[in-house]
Amino acid sequence: MLALFLWVHLILVSSILISQDAMRWVAKTMELAFLTEDGSGFPVIVSLIAAAIFALFVIHTVLACRKLPSSFIQWRKLRQQMQIVDHGDTRFWLVQAITGIVILFLLPPHLFVMLTQPDSIGPVKSSIRIYEQGFWLLYLPLLVAAEIHAAVGLYRVWLKWNLIPVNSPHFRPRLATVKNVLSCVFIIIGCAALVRYIQIGMASV
């Protein structure tokens, strides 16, 4: 669910690639601006969404951390085991673990801004935050880690629960290819949007 939300979120944020008006419309729609006469909306809705995502993030992190090695010795044994059993899905698990740790440190600052400054979302305000306040240094690695983490997570869930039974030896590598393509596509879109925000930020200061 978090992976799907992440992709929807990226698509909405990337509306800046269409135009500033498109991004402004997305932001105001999220705030239910159409329900107010002056179009100011309810920025608190953004805070509520951020709080809900943070709660899900904490739950997801707690559950995921239970599967991680809890000591250096366990990490060393895991590395030895991976050298013995050189399997692609095992490497995917390690990639998901590493990207998860990166997200653990980078996502809270982003959610904190959304929680405490919900009215700072918009084509200009977001651009100034990204460029002038240097948030692109946070968002770039977060983007890469989150997109890889989400794609690997959906890949592993698909195989674990056998969502669509397919009796073919070629299905797993094809699914892995789809995973890689999705990661690349969303990272490219996200980077393009980030560049556009930086351009707007540079022109606004």
Annotated binding-site residues for heme b read 9, 60, 110, 149
Write the CB contacts of 100 (distance below 8 Å, at least 6 apart in sequence): 61, 64, 149
Q: Find tokens 């200009």 and name the residue.
A: 124
Write the CB contacts of 177 (distance below 8 Å, at least 6 apart in sequence): none
Q: Give, rounded to a whole angstrom, the gap between the first and last alpha carbons of the chain.
A: 38
Angle 18-186-109 (CA atoms, 0-180°, nearest 5)? Answer: 90
Measured N-to-C along each axis, helices 44-65 and 88-116 cross at an angle, to the nearest 10 degrees, of: 150
- Binding-site residue numbers are 9, 60, 110, 149
Amino acid, single-letter form, for residue 148: I
Helix residue ranges, H only, the chain? 2-13, 20-30, 44-65, 72-84, 88-116, 123-131, 136-161, 171-204
For the CA atoms of 72, 145, 150, 87, the dihedral, rounded to the nearest 10 degrees, stands at -50
